[in-house]
Amino acid sequence: MYTKRILVLSISLFLPLYCKAAGNTELFVISALHGAHKDHPTYDYQTLYSLVDSFEPDYVGVEIRQEDIKAKKQYLQKNYPKEMVELANRYKSRAFGFDWLGDGIEGVEIPDNYWSDLEVKKLAKEMSQDNHFLSKEPKELGVQRELQSKIIEQATPYSLNNGEYGKICREIDKLEEVWFRGSKYAEIIDFNKKRDERIGDSIIKFIEQHKGKRIVLVMGADHRTFAVEHIKEYFESDVQILPIGKPAD
């Protein structure tokens, strides 16, 4: 508990860094841990919410489809991570969604059986039982996943958003792409790539329509690196992505 209090307090120390420059579009891109926030010693749900609040955003983007952003809470809780539903509720009309979960359900509610019937979910389950395929897993992939897990276990707002986690995600992506290439499981990679692209496109569209605003984007940690790269490539210096300050010792 003492560690959590110190961390939340340290976030407030960086508030002066986020004073808005007139006319600039400023972004705060925050990695979330989804269920791992629960009881996390240094990055629990309240720490995440305090971090979002510290930016004093005009808008908050969350990992929910835009067509679902105003849906009933029970429906949202069934289909989306807890922190995304909570932030959408806290910011209400200032919250927007940027997620994509498949072409077949665009513009309609997520069906009750969607998560069990989704083809990539079926493939992932099949792959987990395919011993022949699993035996070909690159050894380096296990090493990178261990590094990834260690960062999550020891995560703070700074350490999860300073770029190091993203570098590991990129290395894992490369290793998996080589491993999956030519197999039926390559469809999993294709789906994940398309999701990242669609998330990036939705974010860019929103920024274009809200220039000069302060916007917080909260997404699963694995998506952050692609989103940041996509935004920088499209807007170059027209949009400022603010760093998350390192807590004082």
User: Tens digits of per-residue pLDDT, 5-38?
Assistant: 334 434 443 443 445 544 689 999 999 999 999 9
SS3 62: strand
The pLDDT value given to residue 24: 86
| Residue 45 tokens, joined | 């749900």
**φ and ψ of 243, to 5 deg:** -75, 155
Contacts of 238 (CB under 8 A, 6+ apart): 25
Residue 47 forms part of a structural domain: yes
| Distance, CA of 108 to CA of 67 (rounded, Å) | 7
Residue 199 forms part of a structural domain: yes
Residue 249 forms part of a structural domain: no
**Cα distance between the two ends of the chain:** 17
The pLDDT value given to residue 245: 73
Domains contained in the chain, number: 1
Q: How confident is the model at residue 166 (pLDDT cuts 50, 70, 90)?
A: very high
Average pLDDT, the chain: 90
- Write the pLDDT tens digit of every residue in 57-68: 999 999 999 999
| Distance, CA of 167 to CA of 147 (rounded, Å) | 11
Q: Which of 234, 240, 233 is nearest to 214 (CA)?
A: 240
The arithmetic mean of pLDDT across residues 157-163, rounded, is: 93
Model confidence at 128: pLDDT above 70: yes
The pLDDT value given to residue 116: 86
Residue 117 forms part of a structural domain: yes
Instruction: Judge whether 195 and 101 are in contact, CB under 8 Å.
Output: yes
Strands 59-62 and 214-220: parallel
According to DSSP, residue 24 is labeled -
User: Which range is least confidently modeled, 17-31, 42-56, 80-94, 159-173?
Assistant: 17-31
Q: What is the dihedral of CA 49, 52, 58, 60, to 10 degrees?
A: -70
Q: Which domain holds residue 160?
A: 2-241
Residue 56 forms part of a structural domain: yes
| Residue 51 tokens, joined | 């971090």
Instruction: Judge whether 95 and 60 are in contact, CB under 8 Å.
Output: yes
User: Which range is least confidently modeled, 41-45, 112-116, 201-205?
Assistant: 112-116
Instruction: Judge whether 96 and 69 are in contact, CB under 8 Å.
Output: yes
Residue 119 forms part of a structural domain: yes
Residue 246 forms part of a structural domain: no
Model confidence at 102: pLDDT above 60: yes
The arithmetic mean of pLDDT across residues 147-170, rounded, is: 95
DSSP 84-139: HHHHHHHHGGGEEE-----GGGTTSPPPTTHHHH-HHHHHHHHHTT-HHHHTT--H
The pLDDT value given to residue 142: 96
Residue 248 forms part of a structural domain: no
The pLDDT value given to residue 60: 98
The pLDDT value given to residue 1: 38
Model confidence at 186: pLDDT above 80: yes
| Distance, CA of 122 to CA of 18 (rounded, Å) | 44
